[in-house]
Structures are given as C-alpha cells and as structure tokens.
Chains A and B, each alone.
Chain A
Amino acid sequence: NAGVTQTPKFRVLKTGQSMTLLCAQDMNHEYMYWYRQDPGMGLRLIHYSVGEGTTAKGEVPDGYNVSRLKKQNFLLGLESAAPSQTSVYFCASSYGRSVHEQFFGPGTRLTVL
C-alpha cells in the first residue's frame, strides 16, 4: 500500500496563477483533510471531507477550494495564488474521526512569488 500520496512535491507559482494539489489514499478511508504548515506554527486545517461528494471548511479556508469526486482523491485548488499562500501543504486521511489516527502524506512545498 502506498498510503497517502501527494502530487506535486514542490511547486513555484507567480501571484495570480492557479493550481491544483492532488491527494490520493488507498486505505479506503472516509475522512480526508488538507492542512497547511507555516514556520513557527503547527498544522492548520484548511478543508476536510467526511465522504465522497462532501466537503467542509476548516480553520483557514479563504483562497482555497476543494473537491472529493472520488473516495480516494481529495483535490485542493488555488484559483488566484497569493504570496500569503506560500506554505507546506499536507493531506491526511482517517478511517473515522476523533480517536482514529490520521495518516499524512509527504507534503507539498508551495512558493508563491
């Protein structure tokens, strides 16, 4: 099993450009999450999904959109990138909520110039 994979691993964008980050999991998990990690801070939840076709806002959703058309995939989109979105992005999945372990992907380092 590959676990949770993220594509791409690195990306550099110019302000105003758009891009999509892809997260895939092969563990048949219902729950999936997108976090961002900034220096000196822990991870912050951007959006999450509790099942195929459902998405919800997390702590810092502004400037991002998500889609979960297939159970195994969770896409994070930036429609018009801003320098404030320079960060490391992590995807995670879990079987359930609360006590259930979240399995994390390797992260995507995004730089917006």
Chain B
Amino acid sequence: AQTVTQSQPEMSVQEAETVTLSCTYDTSESDYYLFWYKQPPSRQMILVIRQEAYKQQNATENRFSVNFQKAAKSFSLKISDSQLGDAAMYFCAYRPGNTGGFKTIFGAGTRLFVKA
C-alpha cells in the first residue's frame, strides 16, 4: 500500500528566508503524481504545486519549488522569500496514475510558522 510521510510536524522560518518541507512516500508503481497543498486557518485546501513522476525536471511555481528524487522517493517543497501569508498547514499528497485507483494519499501535514 502507498504511504506518505511528513516527518516535520512543525517548522518555523523568518520572513524573507527560505524553508524546506520534507516528504517521503512509498509506492511500487511507476506512474503517479505528487502534490503539495496549503491549508491556511480558513481551512480552504489550495494546490501549491504538482509533479508528474515521469518528468525529471523539478516543478516550480513562483517562490515555490520542489526537489523530486524519484529513486529516493522524496518530494520536498522549498519556499523562497517566505511571506507572512505562507503560514499554514502544508500537506504532501500522492495520487496514482490513470491505471491506478482514485485514492489520493495525504501525509499528516507540516505546520509552517512565519516570523516577522
């Protein structure tokens, strides 16, 4: 069975600094997708970034980038130039490819604090 592990329950970063959130996953499949979601205090789940497993190039969305290490089954999120609005819970998620099931596996989350 697939699993997603976020080993950092909480992280803290100074405004304008860079922080990296860790995520590891376990799967025997070769076709899958990985996501990072942000959940601010409003509870709204917001997609931050996604990565297709077949792509070697790391995904980037403005200040957000990932370090995707397929062999190590690692998918970390780097937030550059951190802003107060980045404070939230961040969830790493795994989803199988089109020949797999519909179950999206979420990690337990990392709460990010941003200090002014």
Q: Footprint of B on A, CB under 8 Å?
A: 31, 33, 40-45, 48, 50, 56, 58-59, 88, 90, 92, 97-99, 101-102, 104, 106-107
**Once the chains bind, are A99 and B102 in contact (CB under 8 Å)?**
no
Q: Is the interface of A mostly helix, strand, loop or mixed?
A: loop
Residue B75 lies at the interface, judged by CB distance under 8 Å to chain A = no
Which A-chain residue is minimally distant from B97 (CB atoms)? A98
**Once the chains bind, are A99 and B43 in contact (CB under 8 Å)?**
no
Which of A40, A59, A88 is the one whose CB lies under 8 Å from B108? A40
List 10 A-B pairs, Cβ < 8 Å: A31-B102, A41-B106, A41-B108, A42-B106, A43-B45, A45-B103, A92-B45, A97-B98, A97-B102, A98-B98
B103 contacts across to A, CB distance below 8 A: 45, 58-59
Q: Footprint of A on B, CB under 8 Å?
A: 4, 33, 42-47, 50, 52, 91, 93, 95-98, 100, 102-109
**Once the chains bind, are B91 and A43 in contact (CB under 8 Å)?**
yes
Contacts A97-B98, A104-B45, A106-B42; A45 near B108 (Cβ below 8 A)? no
B96 contacts across to A, CB distance below 8 A: 98
